[in-house]
Structure 1
Amino acid sequence: GRLGILVPMLVVRELHRTGRRLPFDLEVVGFAEEEGQRFPATFLASSALVGRFDPAWLDQTDAAGITLRDAMQAAGLPGTMEAISALRRDPARYLGLVEVHIEQGPVLDSLDLPLGIVTSINGSRRYTGEIVGLASHAGTTPMGQRRDAAAGVAELILFCEQRAAAVPDVVATVGMLEVPSGSINVIPGRCRF
C-alpha cells in the first residue's frame, strides 16, 4: 500500500539529506496485485522478484475479461516473460526484506498498541466452487420441495466459519458470492462462491 511505498522513500530521502551512508545498498520496491484482487493469482510482483512467476499468469483474465498481459501493457509495461524474468533478484546479494504495512485487522487497536512487528502471516489457499440446486418460483414452491443453491452455500459458509474458529490462528473467508440470474421471486438454482 501507500504506507509501504512512502515510508521507505522517506527513509532514503532522510539518509540522503543527512549524508548518512549505509554499509549496504538499499532498494525500494513497490509491489502490485499481491493479494489477487483483480487477477486470480497471488504474489505476482514478489514472484517475479524471486524468479517464480508462472508464464500462465499472463493469460489469466479479470472479471471484465482483460488478461494480465493486456493490463500490464495498458499500464505501459511490456507484459512479456522476458521483461518479467529480468526483474529477478539474486538472493545472495540481499541481507533481508523489510515491509512497512498497515494492520488490516483489529489486533493492535484492541491491545492499544501503535505499532507491531509481524512474525508470521497466514498462508492463502483459494478455491472457487458452485452449488447447483433447482431454480423455481419463490412464492409457490413449498419449503420441503426446494433445492435452494444459495441456502446450500450459506450452510457451507457457516461450516467453514465454525471449523476455522475451532483452530487457533486459522482463518477462513468466503469473500465472493454470485447468484447468476438472481431475482427476488426465484429460488436460486446456482450459486458460485
Structure 2
Amino acid sequence: MKSSGKREKTIYDDSLTRIFLWSGFTMFIILLIVCIIIGATVLFYRRFDSEGIKIILFCLALVIPGSYGIPLFSLFKAWRQERRLGIYWKDRTDYDRPEWERDWYLTCDRGGFILCHRNYIKRIVGRQTETEIAEHARGKVYYVMYEDMDGKIRKLKFSSDSLASEFLHWFKKQVYKEMEICVKEHWNGSGGIS
C-alpha cells in the first residue's frame, strides 16, 4: 500500500505561541469550570451583593495566571535558549525526520512544555529520581541533569520515568550517574516546613 505523501501534523509543526497556548489550555478549562461552579454557587446563595461579585471577579482573575504561569516560564526558557544559540524554533527544517533525530526536543509535561535544542546540551550529567512525601504532593519526580553550552548544570523535571527516558533516547544516551532521593516534607502548623 502506498503512502499518500502527506504526513500527520503534530505539535512539532506549531509555532512557539501555539505551543504556549496549548500547553496551558487544559488547566485553563479546568480552572474556568471551577470558576463557573464557584460563581453559580455564590450567585445562588448571595445573589448579586458586592461581596459575591468580588469573589467571582477574584476567581476569574486567577484563571489566566493559574493556567499559563508554568507555560510562560517554559516560554521564557525557550526564548533564552534561542537567543543564546542563535538558532530559532521557527527556522527548523527537520520536520520529516523521526522525533529522536530532530534537533529540537519538545514535549508537554507538568502543566507546561519542555523545549530543548541538541546543541544547547554539552553532556548529560545525571539522572535523579525524587520521592516527594508531603501534604501537597506525593509520588516520584524524575530529573535529568545536563551541562549546558556555558558549563552550567541545569535540570529538566519530568512527571514520569518514560518521559525522562524518551528525552535521554532523543539525546543519544551517554554515561551518566543515576540517583534516587527520598524527600520528606512535613508541614508544621505555623505555616512553614519543619
Output the TM-score relative to the length of structure 2: 0.26
Larger Rg: 1
| Higher fraction of helix | 2
Output the TM-score relative to the length of structure 1: 0.26
